[in-house]
Structure 1
């Protein structure tokens, strides 16, 4: 860990008020909570290399929730997505897959598909809007699969409308193009789709990846869901990649003990995101993207340099013990920055006036 990152993390730990995301426990508190939860349910059986125990129970729960025949727990989303794309490529006998140009796989995974499997990711669609039927018409080469991200994190949590999503699924089926769902934040989508079930949202996707540390708050981990044969083959690749750890019980249990409670909070978090969008839109030099949040997250486009915003964030953390956001990033337009905010129970419990005051101070400091 570099010195700057260590300093930032230490500063965040000393804050008594945190705005983004959900409350988290320190390791001692987490392990105590896990022990209580396991005891309250009458004990918990451990898995062995991912087989049996809590892992099997949770895999079945997620498969049913997503409307898929089977699911497998994996230690990371990177592994889940790579294995899924590898299987699609094997079945199609093609080394190309499609994805939005700003998909997580394209920006944050150090060219993992190419480096590990020789897979070429073809950019499909736009960086600033969800994939649509028209984007499929522009694809001029055969693809083994198409990755669809719901919601689009790098575009502020944008989602296609329900009709647009169904049209995309139908056209992909006509083209016999398998769809893979990057659902790292899928749990945030239900409110925008008028309460439709996760199974309805995931219908039409051959494979679905979901995270259980994002929003859910597990220690780590992800699940890949799909057909019985697909998941059986995924387990083979999981073994090859060293992902079927001897025991995954702690990771699984930490997700299971929060799962229902966190899912039940998602609609309230979305409503709070809508309210907060109005608060931020009233601040000078700030634009909210999307103007009406579609998920529990949104971006702030700020007329101030990223370095100044981050320095102001640290100063407020020192003075008020309040942590406002993770990190501001520079935008393509010089002097402008983007801040990502994810709404969890921290912001559910915080009033508008406090949010407006803290960010007003941030902007004043950054522009000074």
Structure 2
């Protein structure tokens, strides 16, 4: 029998996932109707009114909350992280007069944005360090060409949520300071990093001239990002947000979906990290499975299977259809023939399930 077209298979798998009462990866996602009812109730309870092109009490308060958490003077809400980070790169290149910035090999700007920084601004992105680990001070020391800024991703998604250790991070900050080189943080998953460091978000962000954080990754808003930094920097960022079409007439719906669960999600991150450590200890004992990193540094990790991606996906689909458990998200091939990998983000679902209820399903994915 011929294989189903890729698009048809993707739709089938999306339906399988939606029909599963239990989804292992991530936090529970509300249906559109549930989301709209929840945000309506929250807005009623908190007296929320619409903003007008970004001007309004809800946005101002939320931006102030995020800026305070990050220890920065000001912050601006934007509809996407892509926009926030392009604006940050634009501003640092303007300040320096150098159309070149450093970034990790696996930066979102390099892999997932269709070369936007080149196409829109004619910038040159310089890969720094080793793609298999976080950027360290010695990596920056090895860069001889002038840079407008260095983009540092905390944590690095493409290597399983890895972070530099605290002393390594401080050494990188100190070297950048001595070179008068601004550091910009891609903090899309910064909220997940505090549990590992055991320090406040402001302490982590200290030494970074600008910081981007997501309000849908981890937090659960429907969309959006916040860019934080000095007051003048953010004033100029708002100008570029307008130029790029990011000052939407109503931003309150996006902000409300983040604000209504912001404190609750941040409060859950420690428990999610502890659960990830416990789960990883169990996963590491399953034949045919390897983890990156072996000891997680955030509540996410990459699980490698000594089995082809399509076989793992077919097993996952069978479990979903027969038992209503969606065990893993995207499963893709690796550079090692015959191996495959999936990313697991530990959210509230796995907080309520112990290893005895979870590990057997991963063993089945591994073919055990």
Q: TM-score range by the shorter chain?
A: over 0.9
> Corresponding residue for 1:188?
192
Distance 2:141 2:357 in 1: 48
Q: Give the C-alpha shift of residue 5 in structure 1.
A: 2.7
**Of the candidates 8, 22, 25, which is equivalent to residue 27 of structure 2?**
22
Mapping for residues 30-49 of structure 1, pairs under 5 Å: 30-41=35-46, 43-49=47-53
Q: What RMSD, in angstroms, separates the aligned Cα atoms of the two structures?
A: 1.2
> What CA deviation, in whole Å up to 9, does each residue of 1:101-145 have, x standing for no partner?
011211111111111111111000011111111001111200011
Distance 1:308 1:249 in 2: 44
Once the two structures are overlaid, the 10-residue window that deviates more, 299-308 or 55-64, is 299-308
Q: Secondary structure at the match of 2:329?
A: coil
> What CA deviation, in whole Å up to 9, does each residue of 1:216-244 have, x standing for no partner?
00011000000111101111111111111
Distance 1:307 1:96 in 2: 40
**Of the candidates 175, 183, 197, which is equivalent to residue 179 of structure 2?**
175
> What CA deviation, in whole Å up to 9, does each residue of 1:30-75 have, x standing for no partner?
111111111222x102111111231111001101110000000001
**Of the candidates 47, 55, 58, which is equivalent to residue 62 of structure 2?**
58
> Corresponding residue for 1:10?
15
> Corresponding residue for 2:3?
none
Matched, 1:91 2:133: no
Matched, 1:73 2:77: yes
Mapping for residues 1-368 of structure 1, pairs under 5 Å: 2-41=7-46, 43-194=47-198, 196-364=199-367
Q: Secondary structure at the match of 1:181?
A: strand
Distance 1:24 1:48 in 2: 28
Q: Secondary structure at the match of 1:139?
A: coil
Q: Secondary structure at the match of 2:195?
A: coil
Q: Secondary structure at the match of 2:125?
A: strand
Structure 1 portions without partners, runs of 5+: none
Distance 2:76 2:255 in 1: 11
Contact 2:289-2:366 within 8 A present in 1 as well = no
Aligned length: 363
Q: Give the C-alpha shift of residue 277 in structure 1.
A: 0.3
